[in-house]
Amino acid sequence: MSEPNPASARGTDQDATPVFAVEERILGIPKSRWPGIIAPLVMGAIFLGLWEGIVRYRGIPAYILPGPMEILKTLGTDWPTLSGALWVTLRITFAALIAAVSVGVSLAILFTQSKWLERSLLPYAVILQVTPVVAIAPLIIIWVGDVNLSLLICAWLVAFFPILSNTILGLNSADHNLVALFQLYGANRWQTMRYLRLPASLPYFLGGLKISGGLALIGAVVAEFVAGTGGSASGLAYRILESGYQLKIPRMFAALLMISVSGIAIFLATSYISHRLLHRWHESAVRRES
């Protein structure tokens, strides 16, 4: 094998293809992506315009349906209260997500090491997953006592299963020939985990993370609803309940908006992490010229 330089090596293989395609960028985003960003923005603007128009034209009172402008104004005036609530909810969400990742991944690794552990414990993980969190949240709140901790447990219960089940799938999806190769070179369990199974499971884990990020937020909000006014925690859900009682509907919408924006931010963040980690090698993240 004698080729001295890459160019001639590539020349020998007829199926070699150009490796990188360079695309023009506007504001750091590839040109071809802009329609996908602009289209939903235009759609949203039209929708908001119609909403505002109908509310004003028909004189709908704010306690039934506030217009977008009214909601935005409330968001500004109530920001001190709402931002505090947002912080409470986000703190629970992230704590739950971190707990879900650590418990989910640890359990998945444990399960792939011992089939018996998996057989004995996985059914209970499934039971936890399929039981509606709304139904068991009151019990958890009674048992745990500390409201913050019980909210965290509820959010964690909702968020951890997708990570567990995806990571198990990923750890088991390593190429069987590569597994044989590791065996051939006498790799021990730890090496096989470190160099083969963990990297192979990464795309699956990240898929689970995307789902769990949203679920952690939903779990936190749902648990807050159940906890209601019973505690000192005043997250966004609590603010929504409170605004409902007081007929402060614009504030309710503002809180709702904050929850949605948080959910979107979490989704974008997990998608970005996923893209950063996979774009060099995984099919799902590779952009192709057609």
Binding site for another protein (CB under 8 A): 1-6, 8-10, 12-17, 19, 175, 177-178, 180-187, 191, 195-196, 199-200, 202, 280-283, 286
Name which of 146 and 175 has its Cβ closer to another protein.
175
Q: Which is nearer to another protein, 27 or 283 (CB)?
A: 283
Tell the smallest beta-carbon distance from residue 191 to another protein (Å): 6
Smallest distance from another protein to CB 25, Å: 21
Residue 58 vs 280, nearer CB to another protein: 280
State which residue, 200 or 257, has the beta carbon closest to another protein: 200
Task: Give the nearer residue to another protein in terms of CB position, either 160 or 182.
Answer: 182
- CB of residue 178 to another protein, shortest distance in Å: 6
Distance (Å, rounded) from C-alpha 149 to C-alpha 9? 61
Minimum CB–partner distance for residue 19 and another protein (Å): 5
CB of 210 to another protein, least distance (A): 19
Q: Decide whether 177 or 290 has the Cβ nearer to another protein.
A: 177
Closest distance between another protein and the C-beta of residue 101, in Å?
19
